[in-house]
Structure 1
Amino acid sequence: MGQKTASPELELCRRVDEVLYYAWDPIGVSWCPAARDEYQAYLPTVLALLQDDVGAPSVAAYLDEVATARMGLEARPEHSLRTAQLLLEWKREIYSRQ
């Protein structure tokens, strides 16, 4: 039996969830399994931005807005940009397999 692969949309959703939790992690909870769903509320917007083919600066701006306006943290634009670039790299990788 062959292994069934996930749709590109589902795989991208999984990867975005992982990147937000393990790489972006603005409040530093990625060490705690109980906090695994901490950033899932932001998945729909990040996925929509990626599907709309916006660039890394737009995704980074959203991540910074979440961190500052919703979490009360200081902006980390370089970190947000690196995270956005990683998200876009995952998108390219996933859709290049099609």
Structure 2
Amino acid sequence: MKKTVSALLAVATVAGSLVAIAPAAKADGGQIAAGVAGGLIGGALLGSAIASSRPAYAAPAPVYVEEPPPCRVVRERFWDDYRGVWRTRRVEVCD
């Protein structure tokens, strides 16, 4: 998909440049045509070199980590001496 979008973008750029240059072109010994052709060829070479290059970032190999023992959180009632009431708190219990 990425290559298709890049190719379509390149075709649209070339077509746009040809349309933009065509009305203003003059026959001055072929200088403009040579400049346009050189630009298109240079752009194609540079674009293909960039497209075929490797990405700058390679993902690291996966690392497997052992799972810790399963734990769960339970609610526990306790007596709060300061307030004089029963309260609940969450406590992690690992089997």
- The reply to whether TM is greater than 0.5 is no
> Which structure is higher in helix share?
1
| TM-score bracket, shorter-length normalisation | 0.3 to 0.5
Structure with greater proportional strand content = 2
The structure whose RCO (Cα within 8 Å, separation 6+) is larger is 1
TM-score (norm 1): 0.33
Q: Normalised by the size of structure 2, how large is the TM-score?
A: 0.34
